[in-house]
Structure 1
């Protein structure tokens, strides 16, 4: 039996530990913080509001509700191990297109500004990749 230590209890660490465990290995998952999940994190709404029992806006349902404070989607869900884990544990995975696909790098800028930004990035990227084979130079040479 292989004994493995996985460092980091975020999505990648949990997925790695789960994959190793499911293959019959002895796995120890080590996480520095007091919870697992990494960026996947939710908080009870009650912890974010000064409402107290009986105060304005307080209801028993409010005390149970949670808000997403971390990742909003399963990146590359078609191949992300978390998708299967989520489905196996009873979560429904929404497979509709993410909103960010329609506004990726848009940020409300007009098309001509977006085109200028894309051109500037392409210029910088070409210069940086050309310099890879040359001597080391400071990043400031490319900005």
Structure 2
């Protein structure tokens, strides 16, 4: 199986920028008003945007050289259809909780390579080191 390098840190900074711009440009106002919350909406929007990016990266086999184009398309989608991204995240999380989706795939993972969902909560580097024998996850 071909594994693609994923510039997680770089993409995280860019998605943070997209989320802040969407908030400043009032693209999230309707959802913030509907939920009567701002920070939880922005957090969910960030996660939804990252989920979409990860999906595009993996399914379309994107590389570092594609990142500028991918981010531009993502920014347009995020500002134009924030509710769509949030709804996709909501549906995805419901599927994960039922065991019908993996962290980045559409189907449940089986076998020794299945992500250990109960182990996904960590608070620092020491927690990551304790799981290093389980292998490295690449998107």
Q: TM-score range by the shorter chain?
A: under 0.3
**Higher-helix-fraction structure:** 2
Bigger relative CO (Cα 8 Å, ≥ 6 apart): 2
When the two structures are superposed, what TM-score results if normalisation uses the length of structure 1? 0.23
When the two structures are superposed, what TM-score results if normalisation uses the length of structure 2? 0.24
**Higher-strand-fraction structure:** 1
Decide which structure has the larger Cα Rg and report it: 1
